[in-house]
Structures are given as C-alpha cells and as structure tokens.
Structure 1
C-alpha cells in the first residue's frame, strides 16, 4: 500500500472527512482491520483564510510548497490538497517536490463524464467560482460547460462556507438557501452540481438536489485510495 500525503487543515472539518472516507474505503477494499497509510500536514486555517481574503497568494504558495516538501520528506507517495480553493496553487505544489499530485478537479470531472453529463453547476468559495483556475481545468481539460450562481447567490454560498461550515455549523436555513440556489442553476440547464468546496458535503447531499450531486471531498479521497492500492 502506498502512503497518501494530505495537505490539510483548510478547514480541519473537511480534512477529518478525508481521513474517514479514505480509511473506510481501504477497510472495505482489503477487509478489517486494514486502514490507510496517511501522512497529513495540517495547517492553521486562520492565517490562511486571512491571506486568501487579502490576496496574498504568493505567500500562500510558499506555505503550500513547504507542506508538500514536508510530506515528501516524511515518505508520502502522492499528494492531495484537501481543499478546492487552494488548488489555485497546484502548480506551486507540483513544482516543490517530485510527488504526483492528485488534482481534485480531475477526479470530479472524471465522475461527471462517466455519467455522460456536459453542463454542470459549480458551487464553492468565491475564489473557486469566480477565478479561472478551477473552471478552466474543468472546461479545457475535460470539455465541460460550467455555470456558476449569480452575484447574490455566490455571495451567500461563500458566506455560509466561511461563517458556518468551516466552524462545523450546519443550519437548516442555510441548507434551504443552497437548495434554492441549486434549483435556479438547474433552471439554467445544469445537469449536475459540483460541490466545489470540501465543506459543502457537510450541508448538502443528493436528497437536496433534483440532479446528480458530485461531492469533491469523497471523489478526491476515493481517487487517492485507488492510487494507494494500485
């Protein structure tokens, strides 16, 4: 079994989900009492979130590169960035070490394409929805047509992530807000919805959407298991 290296803590709420999903999948594949070989370099999210808000992406890139080097030195065989937003710095992570990076957008797009869908909605932080690093990966590498919510809906999606979900708060009112946003995106032709923030899976499941939901946290974690057991 190969060792999975995870850059985590952004937030730890979703990093904990990665740990659980990976270990459950390994147990299911190999039987009890098997568990996964995992190294996690968990960062303090408070300064990370502030640097995101301040647009200090060069400093963030240095932090992510440092995590990648630490995991490589510790014996990891691959890397996961356990957050969609910080894949903005995927190039910096790949350049910092010789380990293969399992990209969250690729594992998600593969699942979308397997269902034969071509037009998907993307929910996530404002950075993920509005900047091109994520949508371009989906569109240019995988041929998907990606739509995002309007300005007000994007602001609400982002607010709920940073004010509630990263703190482990799951509110029925916020679930209803997401459901309404999803309905509007479906009305615009979305055939599926990508939960493009690793915390959204705490709030939204398939029962909240009339079209297929693609949980990036689970899809990314399972892609790491496939690598580890290959």
Structure 2
C-alpha cells in the first residue's frame, strides 16, 4: 500500500454542473476508502468551481477560445495549489480538451469511456447529452477511431434533451415524465438504428436513467471516469 506522500493529488474543475461536482466528490472519497479498506482516511483533492452558464454562453457563440482559456486558467490554478493531475466533471467541456493548456496531466472522460466500451465489445452506441456533445465531433471521434459507431437522436429530440438537462437535471430536478420521454427516445434508436448500448453523455443523466430502466448496456462516463481517477491517485 502506498504512503500518502506517494499518492497523486487530484484537482477537479467543478461547477460543470454543480450536481455532478458533488457526485464526483462523494464517489471519489467512497472508492478511495474502499481501496484503502479504511473509512477513516480521505484522499487529498481540491475543487475549482467555475461558472457552467458562462461556459454555455461562450459555446452558444462558438467562442471555443474563450472556453479553452477559461478552463486552462482553472487547471493552472489547481496545479498551483498542488494538484498532480486535473479532471473536468462534465463531458461538454471536453469539446476543447485538446486546446486546454495542461500544466499537469488532464485525465479525459471521453478516452476512459471509449476504452470501457471497447472492453465490453460494443459496436454501435446511442448518445444522449447536451446539444454541444451530440452535435459536435469531439466525443464521436474517439469512438469512431476505435471502430465504434455513435448515433444521436434527431434534431428535435436533441433540443428536447438539451432543454431538460439544462432546466431540470443541472438543478437536481428529476421528473418521472422526463424519464419516460428519454426512454422513448432510446427505444426509437434501438428500433431504427439497432444500437447495442447507450452513452449517458451528460454527468447528470444517471440521476434520471438507471440500468434497470433499459434492456441495453448503459455507459455512465462519469462513473467510468471516477474509477479511472481513483486508479490514477494510486498509480
């Protein structure tokens, strides 16, 4: 077992959104303690909480430089505070992952999710997330390069999903009617596109959809990412 001095310190760019940030914090601590077999120890981590809505405003204007600079500054602040590596607790900000100045390693949620899908042998995935995630290529590209096709809902459904994420899930609001609407979209993708799995491409979506809701594998990038973070702490 490694001494605490040998463990890596994780810096979290939070607020992307707030519900996901709280979930990351709790889950990292829980898995860290499980790994240690000790409920009276805690990982050393730090959170730099940024303004998700400011990021969305820049993305709406396609000002990716502003988003990259904003997140680069957040990463630099975490590195200055002692973080050995940095993570973002949201998929949407990964749209500028390659443009973020990395004073320390940045652990990608997209890469971790793609590697997990490969292990499961999945070939055609349905993707639900914000409009930024569904409409841009940054998420699909990694999977495509790995030989996995990613299918998104139609434009009207994408607008509906995005609206529900931003107005409900980002605020911790979970409505049964919204769950049923999302399940209907998944069933349509399964029937029309023969998808063999679904990616919950927003860190708040697991609040709404559970593995028991769908007869397909549900990939939770946040859960996959958190497992990779804990592994990195002990690497």
**Range of TM-score over shorter length:** over 0.9
What is the CA–CA distance in structure 2 between the aligned matches of 1:196 and 1:134, rounded to whole Å? 9
Partner of residue 141, structure 2: 136
- How far apart are residue 210 of structure 1 and its match? 1.0
Structure 2 unaligned segments of length 5 or more: list them.
Answer: 1-6
Alpha-carbon distance between aligned partners in 2 of 1:106 and 1:143, rounded to the nearest angstrom = 14
In structure 2, what is the Cα distance between the partners aligned to 1:225 and 1:210?
29
Counterpart in 2 of 1:45? 52
Aligned with residue 6 of structure 1, among 9, 12, 16: 12
Q: 1:138-153 residue pairs with structure 2 within 5 A?
A: 138-140=143-145, 142-153=146-157
- TM-superposed deviation, 1:53: 2.2
TM-score (ref. length: structure 1): 0.95
For the 8 Å contact 2:75–2:103, the answer to whether it is kept is no
Q: Is contact 2:8–2:232 with CA below 8 Å preserved after alignment?
A: yes
> Which range is displaced more, 79-88 or 39-48?
39-48
Residue 225 (structure 1) aligns with = 230
1:202 is aligned to 2:215: no
CA contact (8 A) 2:125 2:198 kept: yes
Match of 1:116 among 111, 121, 125: 121
- 8 Å Cα contact 1:17/1:217 also seen in 2: no
Note the C-alpha offset of 1:139.
1.1
Correspondence 1:100 to 2:105: yes
Normalised by the size of structure 2, how large is the TM-score?
0.93
**Distance of 2:27 and 2:105 partners within structure 1:** 20
2-structure distance, mates of 1:143, 1:98: 31
